[in-house]
Structure 1
Amino acid sequence: MTPKTNAKQKRLVVTIDGPSGAGKSTISKILAAQENFTYIDTGAMYRCVALQAKKHHIAMDDEIRLARLCQDIDIHFQWENRVNRVFCNGEEVTEKIRTPEMDMLSSAVSAVPAVRKALVAMQRKMGEGGPVILEGRDAGTVIFPQAEVKVYLDASPLERGKRRYLEHQQSGQASSLEKVVEEINQRDLNDSSRAHSPLSPAADAHRLDTTTMDIPAVVSAITRLIKEAAADED
C-alpha cells in the first residue's frame, strides 16, 4: 500500500501486537487505509515461510534449511480493493496462508531464531522512512521498539475463538468452535513460551481489551493515539 500523507505523519511508526483473533488484521487494515500508511502484516510473512517449508518438505525445526529458504524468499504485499494481497515467490498466497494448518505451522516456524532474524531484517527494511503500520506479535518489542505508537490488542480466548471460527465459516473451512478455541489456547501457549521474541506487550504499549469493543471503537481509540503522536512530531 503506497502512502500519501502529510509532513506531520511522514515518519510515524505504529505497531499493533497481540494474540491470534484479537483483531489486529482488521484494525490495522482499516487504519492503514484511513491514514494512508504503509501496511505490513508480519504474521503473513511467517505464514509464507511455513507454506514454502511445507512445499519443500522442510521440517519446522530444521534451522539450517529454513535459514537458507529465508535467504531466497521473496514476499511482498499489494493493496487492492481494500484487500491486502500477499505474494510469495511470484505466487499469490493470500488464501493459502489463512488455514488452521498454517496457523500452527507459522507458530512453529516463528520460534526458529534464524527465521526471526531474517524476517525482522526484512520487516525493518519495508518500514524504513514511514509512515507505517505493522501488525504482529513482536512489532513493538523487537522490530520497532522505538515506534511512536505501540498498541497491544487482546480479548478473551472464547471471543477470539468466535471471531476466528466466523472467518473459517466465511472462507468455507470446516471447523468447530470448540476446536478453534482449543487451537487458540495452544497458539497462545506456543507464542508466549518460546525462547526467542515471545508474545508479550511492550512496557510502553497502550493495551486495549477488545472483548466487548466493536471495530469502530477500537479504530477510534487508536486513531486518537496516532493524531496525538503526529502532533508531538510537528
Structure 2
Amino acid sequence: MKINIAIDGPGAAGKSTIAKCLAKKLNYVHLDTGAMYRSTAYKALQNHICLEDEEAVCKMLEHTKIQLLIDGSILLDGEDVSDKIRTNEISLAASLVSKLANVRRMLVA
C-alpha cells in the first residue's frame, strides 16, 4: 500500500525538519518536493521565464535534471544549488510555480 504524507506551511517553519524526522521514525523515504519547486523556480528565473507561464515552465522542465542527493544536496543540471535556492526570492517564486498543475504533475508523478 502506498502512503503519501504532505506537510504544508510557510517558508522556514520547520516542515523539512519535521518531515525528515517523521520519515526516519516510520522508515519512509523523504522526498523534498519543496526543493524541487525551488529548483524549478530558480532555473525559470535564471532563464527569464515567466513563473506563471505554465507551458514555458513545463517546456523548460523537459530539459531539466533535478537530483536530491542523500546528503541533502540539490543538483540542478549538475550544479549544486543547495544554498542558491534557499532565499526569500526563490521561496516566493517557488510558491508561484507550485500552483501550476502540470508542473506539479511533472515533478511528483
Q: TM-score range by the shorter chain?
A: 0.7 to 0.9
Residue type of the alignment partner of 2:39: C
**CA shift digits 1:52-95 (9 cap, x unpaired):** 10111111112221110111221121122xxx211111111111
Task: Answer whether contact 2:66 2:77 (CA < 8 A) is retained.
Answer: yes
Local SS of the residue matching 2:31: strand
Count residues with an aligned counterpart. 108
Q: Which runs of 4+ in 1 moved over 4 A?
A: none
Residue type of the alignment partner of 2:16: S
Q: Is 1:42 paired with 2:33?
A: yes
- Alignment partner for residue 16 of structure 1, among 6, 18, 22? 6
Partner of 1:102: 90
Q: Higher Cα Rg: structure 1 or 2? A: 1
Local SS of the residue matching 1:76: strand
Local SS of the residue matching 2:74: strand
Residue type of the alignment partner of 2:6: I
Partner of 1:78: 69
Q: Is 1:64 paired with 2:52?
A: no
Residue type of the alignment partner of 1:17: I
Task: Answer whether contact 2:7 2:19 (CA < 8 A) is retained.
Answer: no
Q: Which has the higher strand share?
A: 1
- Alignment partner for residue 16 of structure 2, among 13, 25, 33? 25
CA distance in 1, matches of 2:29, 2:48: 33
Structure 1 unaligned regions, length at least 5:
1-10, 122-234
TM-score (norm 1): 0.42
Structure 2 unaligned regions, length at least 5:
none
Structure showing greater relative contact order (alpha-carbon pairs closer than 8 Å, 6 or more residues apart): 1
RMSD, matched Cα: 1.8
TM-score (norm 2): 0.85
Partner of 1:164: none
Aligned residues with identical type, % of pairs? 37
Q: Is 1:92 paired with 2:87?
A: no
- 1:107 is displaced (CA, Å) by 0.7
- 1:14 is displaced (CA, Å) by 4.5
Residue type of the alignment partner of 1:102: I
Local SS of the residue matching 1:16: coil
